[in-house]
Every structure is written in C-alpha cells, then in structure tokens.
Structure 1
Amino acid sequence: MSDSAFTTDGEWNALYIDGEWVDADDRDDIAVENPATRETVTSVPAATEDDVDRAYEAAAAAQSEWADQPPNERAGVVEAAVDLLDEHRDDILRSLSVESGSANAKAFAEWQTARGITARAAGFPFEMGGDYKDSMIPGKDNQVKQEPMGVVGVISPWNFPFHLSMRAVAPAIAAGNGVVLKPASATPVVGGLLLARIFEEAGLPEGVLNVVPGSGSDIGDRMASHPELDVMAFTGSTDVGKRVASQAAENLALPAMELGGNNPHVVTEDADLDAAVDSAVFGSFLHQGQVCISINRHLVHEDVYDEYVERLTERAESLPVGDPTDRDNVIGPIINEDQRDQMLDYVETTVESGATLETGGEADGLFVEPTVLSDATNDMAAACNEHFGPIAPVVPFSDDEEAVELANDTEYGLAASVHAGDLGRAHDLADAIDAGMVHINDQPINDEPHVPFGGVKSSGMGRYNGDAILDELTQEKWISVQREKRQYPF
C-alpha cells in the first residue's frame, strides 16, 4: 500500500460497501476542501439512498457470522486496528490538520482519544459472556447472555471526525455488530473512508463495516430510518438529533444521541485565578471553540471579575492564529463560511446588546480572532446560543446561588467546570449544575475511554465510552433450563 494511503493525498474516490471500494461512476462528487487554504484536496462520491440500502443489507448479512466468531478473533481485528493507528499516527494527524483545520494539540488529542477508545473496545469480546441468576423455581438455572444488537448506524460530525466516528465504530465492531457509517460531508475521509481502510487492513471481514459519505439532506433520513437499523449513534446538533432519534424510534431502533451544549465555566472569588484562566484559555479556544464540550460561558464572581477578564484578554491576544499545518499555530480556521458568519453575528449582536468587546471579533477569511466579551449577560446572543467558536463571553455573579441559576439557565446539559478554593464548595456547585459531566478545578473538554460520556436535557440521551457504550450496543437474552421436573398447579 502506498505511503499516502492513510492521508488525504490517497485515492478516496469511492464508497466502501460490502468489503469493496465502489467507484464513483455517475454519482455526484463531494469536494473536500482544506479550510485553511480553501484548496480542494480530494473528492469523494456522494452516496445515494440506494447505496445506503446496499450498505445496510451488507452489514445485516455479515453481522451474524461476525458475531459468531470467537472473542479472540474479534479482539484480534480491533487490536490490529490499534497497531495501525500507532503506525500511521503522523498520517492521521496530518489528515486532521488538512481536512478539519485541526491545530497540532487538538489533532494529537483526537488521535490519542480515538486510540484509547479502540484499545478499550478490544476487550469487549471477552466481557460479553453473560451472567447466572438464581431462580424462584426449584431445579431451574437462569442465564442472562449479552448479545450484539445487530446493525449500528453511525452519523458523525466534522469537528472531531476521526474520534467521534471511531468511538462508535470500534466498540460496535468489537461487540459483534455490523456497522454503516455516514461521515460529515465536510470530513468524509478522516471521518469515514480512513476508518474503512484501517479496518480493512486490520482484517475485518467483508460487509461488517460500510462507509457511505453524503449530505445529510440527501441520505440522512434513509440512514436514520432504515428497517435493518438496530442502534442509531448520532453526534450533532440538537435539532437534527431530535429528527434522527424520532426516525430511528419509528423502527424501534435505539437512539444514542450526543447533541449540543452550552457549557458554563464557574469561577468563585476564592479560586486559584491562575489555574482558572489557564483552564479557560484551553477550554474556550481549543480547535477554535468548535467543540461540543468547550466553554460557552464564563461565569465569574464579581470580586475577581475584572482581573479575570484582563488576564483572559491578555492570553487570548497571545494565541498564534494561522494554518494548522504550521505546528506553532494554536488557532486554525473555522470549518466553513456559514459557521463563521453565524458566530460573528452572535458577537455583533452581543455587543449591540451592551457587552464590551475586549479583543477579537474579526475574521481573516475563515480565521476568526480569539474573542473576549465582558459585561455580558446570560441572555445575550453569544451566551445563550451554542456559538461553537473562539468566543468567551464573561458573565458576573454575586453568590453561589446565582452561579447555579445562571449555569442551569439553558436547555442544554452536556458539560461544565468549576474552580473554587474550597473543594467542598466546588463539589456542592458541581452537584447543583444540571450537566452529564462536571469537572472541578479544570475545564469541560475531557474525554476518557473508560468513563461514561454524555449529557442531560437537550444535550442527548445515552452514554459513550467504557461499559456504558457496551450497554448501548448489546442486548440481554434470558435463557433458562429446567433441570428437574417441574410441578405445575394444573
């Protein structure tokens, strides 16, 4: 295989269905652009609904035989995939920079998390043996077996395309399921076709994994509503997620949804301000804020508010902005014009509403300056919306009760962080914040392969990672054996 096979320089003008690379033929093309340079780096075919049907049929046909493989066989394929992630790490990092605008620190963190999730998944085949339960009936044995759900559909986003595809694909395969993956149309290689190549090289049988790039408006409904679908793993916006979940549920497929967030970063007056600001810079500006668990609102006690704003502004202005293939740059490009224009509109509207623009607020092409907004309130556009950009609105509060009220004043409940000098106080605040994940003396961008990941309220349903994702991808089956003749009442 050529040196470029695992980069965007490789040959990607094909779908991957039933173990075959299917030529584009007369299908429409999806141009893959480098958001930093606006150059087209490759193109992939846009799958049709017929392609989605073929992919699901292939997954369903291959799944039973794959599930019947001994656990060491399934584990061996996933372990081989981990070896390939190690071998081609630099290629994957480069692809993330070119296709998704990922600066080096973000790209490495994404590869590292995807690798950890895949390595953790390699143990799943040995954890599905089942359990024995005592019976109320004399002479009866009860066995509760854990079996794969069947076919898992995956719709992944563009912001962490490799990680957020792999966190569903690797566990689903390890657990004995068939998979159909639709990556985001902005990142079809590193979010989709690259995974197909990895698992193909790892020895995965034909049909178990299928990849169908395409626009959600063209094939999303068919992906979510296919009759062969048993689990729909979706990461994206809340509005789209609700539609996807409802379509999956029509066929009694289980929706596993990780949706939007509006994540608060609470800083009390007794917090270590150096640590709070260090956390804030990473939590707001990693990957240009294009992270579902990034800080969306900085809630800061009024006694340290001015100093916090001053320090945050100074740090924001020091961050190097530019092409992420230059390893010195921290802030890369926004993925496209629509995302850029929306976040800049949030900033403009917030300033018009009375906030002060401390720094930033401008863009050079798709490069948006790190932006700090003081004198913000919770109902201003950049605070009440998931801005998904390098924007830090700073909202003051007077006491812990108000901090909690502000933190929870959103439809979302994905992640949060709390900085406080007293650990007991920090725990009380964390307990009171309505979020699936809260990080004390840190920031919200945390993801570990063995710890459940997910939100509450409009931020989704279900959990990824560790035992939690195994529960989503398997179902229990009760088998009983009556070993002694049973006495019936009639």
Structure 2
Amino acid sequence: MPNFAMLIDGEQATAQHTFAVTNPSTGELVGMAPQATLSDLDRAVATAQTAFEAWSRVSDADRAEACAAIAAKIGTHAEELAQLLTCEQGKPLNGLGSRFELGGAQAWASVTAGLSLPMKVLQDTNEGRVELHRRPIGVVGSITPWNWPLMIAVWHILPAIRTGNTVVVKPSPFTPLSTLRMVELMNEVLPNGVVNVVCGDDAVENIGAAMSAHPGIRKMVFTGSTATGKRVYANAAETMKRLTLELGGNDAGIVLPDVNPEEIAERLFWGAFINNGQTCAAMKRLYVHEDVYDEVCSALTEFARNIVVGDGRDEGSVLGPLANEMQFDKIRSLVDASRAKGRVLLGGEPGEGLFFPPTMISDLEADDPLVAEEQFGPALPIIRYSDVEDAIAQANSGENGLGGSVWSKDIAHAKRIAARLECGSAWINSHGGLNPIAPFGGRKSSGLGVEFGEEGLAEYTDIQVIHC
C-alpha cells in the first residue's frame, strides 16, 4: 500500500509518522498519509514566503499561462485522480461523482486562468490622476473539506496564485491523498514553493488551528462547518488575516402550487442528493404547497427508488456510501429522531458499513431536528405549507443563509420570491448549480466573502491607491 508525501518547496517531504486513509465503501486501506508537525508547517510557510518574492513579480500574462497549464495537467491526469478520489471519499466514478468533480476542477482552473483585475483609473483630470491597483496579499493558507476535496482545492488555490500569492494547503484527514497527488502535479508546472501541501490528523497535531494563527500566513480561506469557521475566524484575529469563509448551509427549496411534479422530480432529487447530500449548497429542506404536496412526494420518491447505491468503483453505482463514520452516525441519529413524528416515504434504514439509502420523511415541523439542523447527508425532510408567506418565513429562519430555490412555472413570480430569501445564491427550478464566473458565498452565519469570478479573485488582493 503506497505511502504518500507532503510537497514543500517543490519536493516530496516525508513524515516520521503516518495515518491510514480507508475506502468508505469497503473499509480497505487506500494509503498512508503523512502526519505533519508544526515544524513542517513552519517550513512550508517559510518556503511560500520566499517563493512569494519572485512569484508576486511574475507578469500577469505568465501567471495566467501557469494556471492554464495546471488546468491542462488536471485534464491529463483526470482519470488517475478520479480513481484515487473515489477510493478515499466513496463517491461513484460516474454520474455526479469523481469524474464530474475532476471535470469541474479543470473547468474552474481554466476559467480562473482567464480572469484578471486590471488597474482602474478613478480620476484623470487637471487636479491629478488616481489609480486603483490590486496587489497580492502574501502567503494564503487553505483548509479544504472532505466532500469535494479536489474541486474545492482548485477553488482555493487557483485564484490565489493567479493574483500572485503563494499557498500552503491542508486537506481534510479523511481525503488527503488525492490532494497530495494533485499538488504534486501542480508543482510540475509551477516554480518551487508556490503551492505547498501539508496534512495530518488534527487529533494528533492541530495543523489547521496553527495555520489560522500563523503570523506568516496573511490570508486564510476555509470551506467547512460554521463551528470550525468561527474558530478559524477567532484564531486569525490576532494577526489581522484576510478571510474567505464558505460555511454551512441549511438550504430551503419552496415548491409553488403551479408546478408539474413529474417534470421537476429529477431536478428536485439532485438538488438535494448530489454527492449523497454531502454538499454545502445542497437542498436540505423542501417546502411544498398543500395543493401539490402528495403528488410531489410521490413523484420524488418514485424517481429515487431507481437510484443505484453501491461501491463507488462500480461503474453502475449512482450514489456511494457516506464519506466517514462521523457523518454516518449523524444521519442515522437525525433520521431516527424523525421517525416518530414524520412519515418515512423512502429509505430510513441504514445499510451495511457506511451505506445509507436516499431517505425522505414527510409531515415534519420546523423544530424537528432533521429540519432545524443541517444534516449534510441523504435524508430530506418534506414540509407541507398552505401560505407562501409562511414558507418564506420558515426558509429564512435560522442562522444559515447559503442558498435557496423556488420552483414554479411562473418565472417572474418565482424571482420575486427568490429575492426575499436571505441567502447568497438563489435558483429558479434547480438547486445548487454553480458557475465559475458567478460569485458564490453565504449570508448570516454561512460565510464571509465570496468565491469565483472577478469578485472572488479580488478577495485574494489588497487595494493600493496611487495618487500622481
């Protein structure tokens, strides 16, 4: 079984200690990941600081070319990375699984390569000229999650290096191997030290906390739970770091009474169950008008019955297992708590190992745990409503504000309702689709700052104004 290494200053860096990464489908060992020490982190940061001096002065065109080369490298090695990703995360190779994720990673890298932040002239008169310039910040620390590890690593790394920063990335200990390999590939086209990767089990050495407090890191970008995001926020305060935080979401979908249930069933399903529901911007609560409630429940469950759940390496699997035991236990607990109060339309009983079938529970209320908490898994509560004002109020309840959706044949009416949802992204007749040119971020406790597009690129820069 292979031992994987960190990448620091363009070279593989082994560790004295390692930890096991297992396949969620089978429990089999996938590989041994290096356990970083605080000394490893210090060395990676120092390397990135040194590399920043040269990389920040590289021309905009040359940095764009390097990012395009990374996109091509990801494309060339997409199947290798997809296979490794499926083994450590569990998601299927096909459908909206690992090959889809690698396609997204390549696409985001390509689009980011083509973005730029040119100088803006704010004034050019007899009184003088005023120019606004975007300057790179320095070393960026990136902490990535286990649900979309490679796609999100690209979301963090590419805009950082595109704008002249250098990076130290720490992947989740549940899914470090594919990121270690992808960073190794990035280093084949980048100068040494521009992108470095350290990893470790935080129960042994909390590298993530050390990164967010490290005086040599000038910006942190984190994707994960709101609770952990708050700790990153607090740890970063002493050094006045710049922050981009994409945190939890308990996204609501509102179905209006004019829909055709059979026409929207497939899109409703994937809005909720993409990546087994293990997606920040997946639909976590579905509010359906009483006039079409039974029909929507029926159409949705009938579609879901045909979804094949199995080993991610099986080409016929559509959904895989949950990614880790922690998440499996959470889903089982929330579903068990909902059985007595709601009606299980589909699923509800865990399978062997970490497999949990697509589960839908109707007739729940606002204070039921499956509705009030972000489940982050394959269990969808479906709530009946009679007054759309009440549905909007329930959708906006709570501290999350990442995404939301409205489902209707009347697009103009749906847009008016969507405008009232307290969320960073709203979709009409779909849920969760992202675009590399459209800013993505949360309101309330779902995050700080945005990713993607020019607005996301700007988050990796400081403003300098020159008066001349």
Give the aligned length: 463
Cα offset, 1:12, TM superposition: 4.8
Alignment correspondent of 1:102: 91
Instruction: Indicate if the aligned counterparts of 2:26 and 2:353 stay in contact, CA closer than 8 A.
Output: no
* Aligned with 1:409 (options 393, 397, 406): 397
Instruction: Give per-residue Cα distances to partners, 1:95-125, cap 9 Å, x unaligned.
Output: 221111112222233222211211122124x
Letter in 2 for 1:39: E
* Aligned with 1:79 (options 52, 57, 68): 68
* Aligned with 2:303 (options 311, 315, 340): 315
SS of the counterpart of 1:187? coil
* Aligned with 1:281 (options 256, 269, 273): 269
Cα offset, 1:455, TM superposition: 0.9
Give the distance between the partners of 2:372 and 2:439, measured in 1 at CA. 26
Give the distance between the partners of 2:277 and 2:266, measured in 1 at CA. 15
Alignment correspondent of 1:349: 337
Alignment correspondent of 1:486: none
Cα offset, 1:257, TM superposition: 0.3
Alignment correspondent of 2:294: 306
SS of the counterpart of 1:329? coil
Instruction: Indicate if the aligned counterparts of 1:148 and 1:176 stay in contact, CA closer than 8 A.
Output: yes
Q: Does 1:373 align with 2:382?
A: no
- Larger mean CA deviation between 456-465 and 316-325 belongs to 316-325
Give the distance between the partners of 1:91 and 1:254, measured in 2 at CA. 35
Q: Does 1:134 align with 2:123?
A: yes
Larger radius of gyration: 1
Letter in 2 for 1:33: T
Letter in 2 for 1:411: E
Q: Does 1:21 align with 2:7?
A: no
Alignment correspondent of 2:213: 225
Cα offset, 1:314, TM superposition: 1.9
SS of the counterpart of 1:90? helix
* Aligned with 1:33 (options 17, 22, 27): 22
Letter in 1 for 2:42: D
* Aligned with 1:114 (options 100, 105, 109): 105
SS of the counterpart of 1:395? strand
Alignment correspondent of 2:449: 462
The structure-2 alpha-carbon separation of the partners of 1:270 and 1:128, relative to structure 1 and needing over 3 Å to count, comes to closer
Q: Quote the sequence identity (%).
A: 37
Cα offset, 1:139, TM superposition: 5.2
Q: Does 1:473 align with 2:460?
A: yes
Instruction: Give per-residue Cα distances to partners, 1:270-306, cap 9 Å, x unaligned.
Output: 0122233111111122211111111111100011111
Instruction: Give per-residue Cα distances to partners, 1:81-103, cap 9 Å, x unaligned.
Output: 11112211211221221111112
* Aligned with 2:370 (options 352, 376, 382): 382
Letter in 1 for 2:13: V
Q: Does 1:156 align with 2:144?
A: yes
Letter in 2 for 1:16: L
SS of the counterpart of 1:309? helix
Q: Does 1:205 align with 2:194?
A: no
Cα offset, 1:317, TM superposition: 2.0
Instruction: Indicate if the aligned counterparts of 2:78 and 2:103 stay in contact, CA closer than 8 A.
Output: no
Cα offset, 1:368, TM superposition: 0.1
Q: Map 1:46-61 onto structure 2 (within 5 A).
A: 46-61=35-50
Instruction: Give per-residue Cα distances to partners, 1:362-409, cap 9 Å, x unaligned.
Output: 222111011110111121111111111111110011021011011111
Alignment correspondent of 2:200: 214
Instruction: Give per-residue Cα distances to partners, 1:322-356, cap 9 Å, x unaligned.
Output: 0011121112011111211111110111122x101
Instruction: Indicate if the aligned counterparts of 1:249 and 1:255 stay in contact, CA closer than 8 A.
Output: no
Instruction: Indicate if the aligned counterparts of 2:289 and 2:385 stay in contact, CA closer than 8 A.
Output: yes
* Aligned with 1:397 (options 385, 388, 393): 385
Cα offset, 1:361, TM superposition: 1.2
Alignment correspondent of 1:271: 259
Q: Map 1:190-201 onto structure 2 (within 5 A).
A: 190=178, 192-201=179-188
SS of the counterpart of 2:50? helix
Q: Does 1:45 align with 2:31?
A: no
State the Cα RMSD in Å: 1.5
Instruction: Give per-residue Cα distances to partners, 1:57-95, cap 9 Å, x unaligned.
Output: 111111020111122322222111111122112112212
Give the distance between the partners of 1:178 and 1:36, measured in 2 at CA. 36
User: TM-score, normalised to structure 1's length?
Assistant: 0.92
Give the distance between the partners of 1:322 and 1:472, measured in 2 at CA. 40
SS of the counterpart of 1:32? strand
Give the distance between the partners of 2:393 and 2:120, measured in 1 at CA. 44
* Aligned with 1:234 (options 214, 222, 231): 222
Cα offset, 1:421, TM superposition: 2.1
SS of the counterpart of 1:368? coil
Instruction: Give per-residue Cα distances to partners, 1:429-479, cap 9 Å, x unaligned.
Output: 101111100100112x21111110111011101100111221100111122
The structure-2 alpha-carbon separation of the partners of 1:13 and 1:398, relative to structure 1 and needing over 3 Å to count, comes to same
Give the distance between the partners of 2:68 and 2:170, measured in 1 at CA. 23
Give the distance between the partners of 1:261 and 1:462, measured in 2 at CA. 15
Give the distance between the partners of 1:264 and 1:21, measured in 2 at CA. 44
Alignment correspondent of 1:183: 171
Instruction: Give per-residue Cα distances to partners, 1:250-284, cap 9 Å, x unaligned.
Output: 21111100000101111111012223311111112
**Greater than 6 Å deviation, 4+ residue runs:** none
SS of the counterpart of 1:458? helix
Instruction: Give per-residue Cα distances to partners, 1:125-183, cap 9 Å, x unaligned.
Output: xx2441222268x4532222111111111000000000011101011111110101000
SS of the counterpart of 1:92? helix
Instruction: Indicate if the aligned counterparts of 2:74 and 2:182 stay in contact, CA closer than 8 A.
Output: no
Instruction: Indicate if the aligned counterparts of 2:407 and 2:428 stay in contact, CA closer than 8 A.
Output: yes
Give the distance between the partners of 2:282 and 2:33, measured in 1 at CA. 30
Instruction: Indicate if the aligned counterparts of 1:263 and 1:414 stay in contact, CA closer than 8 A.
Output: yes
Instruction: Indicate if the aligned counterparts of 1:275 and 1:441 stay in contact, CA closer than 8 A.
Output: no
Structure 1 stretches lacking a partner, 5+ long: 1-8, 482-490
